[in-house]
Amino acid sequence: MNMHSKTRYIILALLILIPSAVNLGVPIYNRNYPELFGMPFFYWFQTFWLVACTGFYLVYSKLVEKKA
C-alpha cells in the first residue's frame, strides 16, 4: 500500500466520520438562537447538514469509484 492509497483511505474515513460526529453532537446545536428566516437554529442547522452530507457522500462515491 503506497502513500497515495493511505491518504485516500484517510480522506474517505473523514468524509464519513465528520458528518456522523456533527449529527451525533445534538447538545451542541440544540437551541433556538440564532434564527434564520424565522427558523430556529436547530432546524436550519439540520437542513444545512442534510445538504452538506449529500456533498460529502458525492465526493466519497467519486473517490471510491476512481479506486475501482
Q: What is the pLDDT of residues 9-33, one digit of tens each?
A: 888 888 888 888 888 888 888 888 8
Residue 67 has pLDDT above 70, yes or no: no
Residue 45 has pLDDT above 70, yes or no: yes
Report yes or no: 59 and 21 within 8 Å, Cβ to Cβ. no
- Please report, for the chain, the start and end positions of each structural domain, with discontinuous segments joined by +: 39-68
Question: CA-CA distance, 23 to 53, in Å (whole number)?
Answer: 10
pLDDT at 34: 92
pLDDT tier at 2, thresholds 50, 70, 90: low
Percent of the chain with pLDDT over 90: 15
